[in-house]
Amino acid sequence: MKHFLLVALLSWLKLHAAYSQPKPLGTALPITISGYVREAGSQEALIGVNVYRTGTSVGTTTNTYGFYSLTLPAQDSLQLTYSIVGYESQQLTIAAQKSGSINVALMAGKLLNEVVVRSRADEKVSDSPQMSQIDLPISQIKKIPALLGEKDVLKVLQLMPGVQKGSEGQSGLYVRGGGPDQNLIVLDDAVVYNASHLFGFFSVFNGDALKSVELTKGGFPARFGGRLSSVIDLNMKDGNKEKLHGEGGIGLIASRLTLEGPLTKKKSGPGATSFLLSGRRTYLDVLAAPLIAAETDGKTSAGYYFYDLNAKVNTELGPKDKLYLSGYFGRDRFFADDNSSETQTTKVGIGWGNATGTLRWNHLFSDKVFGNASLIFSNYDFSISADNKDTFNDRTTEFNLRYTSGIRDFGIKYDLDIYPNPQHSLKVGVQATAHRFTPSAVVLKNTELNESRLEVDKIDVLESGIYAEDTWKPNVHWRVNGGLRFSTFLHDAVTYVRPEPRLAAAYMIKPDLSVKASYALMNQYVHLLSNTGIGLPTDLWVPTTDRVRPQQSQQVALGMAKDFTNGGSFTNGLTLTVEGYYKRMDNIINYKEGASFLLIEDPTSAQRVRWEDNVTSGRGWSYGAEVLLQKKVGRFSGWVGYTLSWTQWQFAELNGGKPFFPRYDRRHDASVVGIYEVSPRISLSGTWVYGTGQALTLPQATYVAYSPGSPAYSYGQNGVQMLLPYGNAQTATEYGEKNSFRAEPYHRFDVAVQFHKKMKRHERTWEFSAYNAYNRRNPFFYQLATLPQSSTNPQPDLPRTILKRYSVFPIVPSVSYNFKF
């Protein structure tokens, strides 16, 4: 299959190259200029740098490892421009009679520096076939105000059109009507299954360790697959090759420290090795421990913490080979140890976390062919342990419960980037992942019942994909990315092989204005069972089986991209993108009404329930329009985003089979983000967000439900005792239609001010910020409450029932100290 695909693609490529070669280029012998673009100083590889022949649109961009290859006709001299946001662009004039390698180092831009403003002049959204994609500069993320000062990559993505937040303070992403389970979150090629800390209030990504963040919400290239709604591709920094560098911060709830530097004296060339080590930990448990101990005479301890650890080492094996080893380890832990009773001791622990590891080997086959092999490991596990010891009359009863659930992956991936000529840039690759799911494993021991049970239910499946895609620039007007992915899924009872065609095209009406269109078909073979919308660790990953089919989506998007130029030069960096989309989702899954993870496996019940019994599948559709006006350069930068959208679901077993709005259907979603560099020492930032309220199901009435059987005697009004025909009385609740209640709209304003100062050996930043600055009481959830009878409630047996709105965050001020050296 792989061979067939490659042959087919290469033939197609050859054919097109023959016909599409522009005439002036066709006359001279072609030469290839290739190399790496890195950051000056740290030697960090730069991703997505535009490399092109100055004054033309003939060019390419660097790949994930900073590599580029550009094939041009030989000539006496050639001027090349290297540019990317946040760096000073470089123009090189080179003698171009023969192929050669040119490595370039770009200087990180200094704010308010005119050179920087010029350097960004070539980053144009209108010049790429890719649509529905967002790149976030990490430096910008660090300036945007955040809850308790904890900068969060995923929460900044929530400020983009088409991407919505869930409940207040949550880091889950809802992309174009899809749920958080439909996002593929990849850190250095490894899937991160649960990106939440502290029940979703913080994401697991530590910005200090990250180099780049890219979100794709539509028009997916063929190299991406496995989820319906988005791909969030995060890359860790490689580690400074020049000198030891550190940065860190002390905040109200957590502190962090990152160190990076060379491991060898050799700064570049074969043998040069560098590392990155970054950690973050909360300290609420440490602060609370003495208080709890004092309250309970030291007999009880309890606490909660989370930590993250990122590590990466990279080494150059030779001019053509590089090796990268990176890993992420993060864990949340809640614990309680109660010895306060003389006869009883109780120990409870809940823990969850991700571990990922990636070993990557880059090999340059030629100046036109770049290869990368990755070995990938990822693991997520959730565990509960409860131990109880009860001593009564010298008899000791022990109760031990262990519950674990999780997913573990071993994966292998090979990708080739091929740059035959400036018109084509080809990517082909193959990937296979062996997943092991542990939906639930329970060990229950009880000395009294003399019973011990071990129930492990592991499922092994193999998911794989093979793809080929080409970015084709036939002439100055057209930019096309076409590709095909074959995804396969092997389970004991069922096998799926599915083709996934992808196409994206841009037509440049003018040099700064293009219209774009895309189509993508996506399959998802792993599913997340989650019914709260909150990032709970109990959210359970489960595979496609013979009873649960793969989820599938088809999305079409149309849009325009406009770069506002000033007298022909793109100096103000203002861009406007407008996109409309329609997405159809099939076989999406949801818990059945009344089911939840708590019922997945009830260790005390004699009945054994398969998780499939608790889920139901249906379809959904979402459509909408998104507008993004973004200013990336200058003293004042930021964006305004607006989304108008509709999302509906239809499940045979939910809402009586009628379509309904899922909880996160959001008609209007707007965000305004502004960063103002007041002076080199002070920066001010603010964000304002608005979103239509969530669609919720609220009780409308309760009544007593009966059925035949269990008859009981009752006295009639006539004083005669009679046998009532129906019993089993139970209070039933009437909800009306599912999600027919709209919560109040959500809006919030955050503000932050940063004071930067260069000290003798380091640079420090004080940040003061306020989350929810105007103290809006945004709804987190609603609950019914019954008021006792009162003067306003004259009914004797009918107390007044009201609806209460619970909010979580009032205005939250915070202060943090950050440093780097």
Q: 675 to 694, contacts with another protein by CB under 8 A? A: 678-679, 681-682, 684
Distance separating alpha carbons of residues 44 and 50, to the nearest angstrom: 16
Window contacting another protein (CB under 8 A); options: 308-316, 327-335, 619-627, 728-736: 728-736
Q: Which residue from 670, 674, 678 is spatially nearest to 687, judged by alpha carbons?
A: 674
In the complex, the smallest distance separating the C-beta of residue 530 from another protein, rounded to whole angstroms, is 9
If the CB atoms of residues 276 and 812 are measured against another protein, the closer one turns out to be 812
b (16+ CB within 10 A) / e for 745-755: bbebbbbbbbe
Interacting positions 516-545 with another protein (CB under 8 A): 531-532, 536
Query: Is 545 within 8 Å of 494 (Cβ atoms)?
Result: yes
699 binds another protein (CB under 8 A): yes
Q: Which residues pair with 554 in a beta bridge?
A: 521, 584
Tell me which of 490, 599, 625, 644 binds another protein, using CB under 8 A: 599
In the complex, minimum distance from the CB of residue 377 to another protein, in angstroms, rounded to a whole number = 31
CB of 664 within 8 A of CB of 174? yes
Q: Using the rule CB under 8 A, give the single segment among 50-58, 200-208, 565-573, 731-739 that binds another protein.
A: 731-739
Does residue number 796 form part of the binding site for another protein (CB under 8 A)?
yes
Under rule CB under 8 A, residue 810 binds another protein: yes
How far apart, in whole angstroms, are the C-alpha atoms of residue 630 and residue 793?
54
Q: Does 196 bind another protein (CB under 8 A)?
A: no
Structure-block tokens of residue 559: 């849009």
State which of residues 28, 94, 287, 701 lies at the interface with another protein (CB under 8 A). Answer: 701
Stretch near another protein under the rule CB under 8 A, chosen from 268-276, 562-570, 581-589, 709-717:
709-717
Site for another protein in 74-113 (CB under 8 A): none
Q: Select the residue interacting with another protein from 800, 819, 820, 821 (CB under 8 A).
A: 800
Strand partners, 518: 504, 557
Strands (DSSP E) contained in 447-494 are 451-456, 459-472, 478-490
Instruction: Write down the least CB distance from residue 496 to another protein, Å.
Output: 22
Hey, what's the torsion of the CAs at 712, 718, 719, 725, to 10 degrees? -10
Q: Is 55 in the site for another protein (CB under 8 A)?
A: no
C-beta closer to another protein: residue 267 or 610: 610
Sign of CA dihedral 809, 306, 539, 731: negative
d(CA 759, CA 489): 56
Q: Give the residue, chosen from 393, 607, 790, 791, that forms a contact with another protein under the rule CB under 8 A.
A: 607
In sequence order, the β-bridge partners of residue 487 are: 465, 498
Cβ-contact 258, 277 below 8 angstroms: yes
Cα–Cα distance measured from residue 152 to residue 771, given in angstroms and rounded to the nearest whole number? 13
Residue position matching structure tokens 């003698």: 95
Smallest gap, in angstroms, from Cβ of residue 725 to another protein?
Answer: 4
Report d(CA 320, CA 370) in Å as an integer.
Answer: 9
Spatial CB neighbours of 594, under 8 Å, sequence gap ≥ 6: none
Binding residues for another protein restricted to 154-183, rule: CB under 8 A: none
Q: Can you tell me which of 113, 603, 702, 763 binds another protein, judged by CB under 8 A?
A: 702
Amino acid, res. 571: T
Picking from 525, 513, 455, the residue whose alpha carbon sits closest to that of residue 488 is: 525
Binding flag, residue 598, another protein (CB under 8 A): yes
Select 7 or 112, whichever has its Cβ closest to another protein: 112
Asked whether position 720 contacts another protein by CB under 8 A, the answer is yes
* Contact between 396 and another protein per CB under 8 A: no
Judge contact between 728 and 704, C-beta under 8 A. no
The first and second tokens of residue 43, run together, are: 């030697």
Nearest distance from C-beta of residue 433 to another protein, angstroms: 29
Query: What's the one-letter identity of residue 743?
Result: A
What's the rounded Cα separation, in Å, for the pair 205 and 295? 35
Cβ nearer to another protein, comparing 76 with 734:
734
The count of chain residues that interact with another protein, using the rule CB under 8 A, is 89
Binding mask 734-773 for another protein (x = CB under 8 A): xxxxx-xx--x------x-x-x------------x-x--x
Where does this chain touch another protein (CB under 8 A) — which range of 133-141, 219-227, 256-264, 712-720? 712-720
We find the least distance from the C-beta atom of residue 680 to another protein, in angstroms, to be: 12
What residues between 612 and 671 interact with another protein by CB under 8 A? 654-656
Q: 440 to 499, contacts with another protein by CB under 8 A?
A: 448-449
Q: Are 463 and 435 in contact (CB under 8 A)?
A: yes
> Which range in 280-288, 481-489, 549-557, 592-600 contacts another protein by CB under 8 A?
592-600
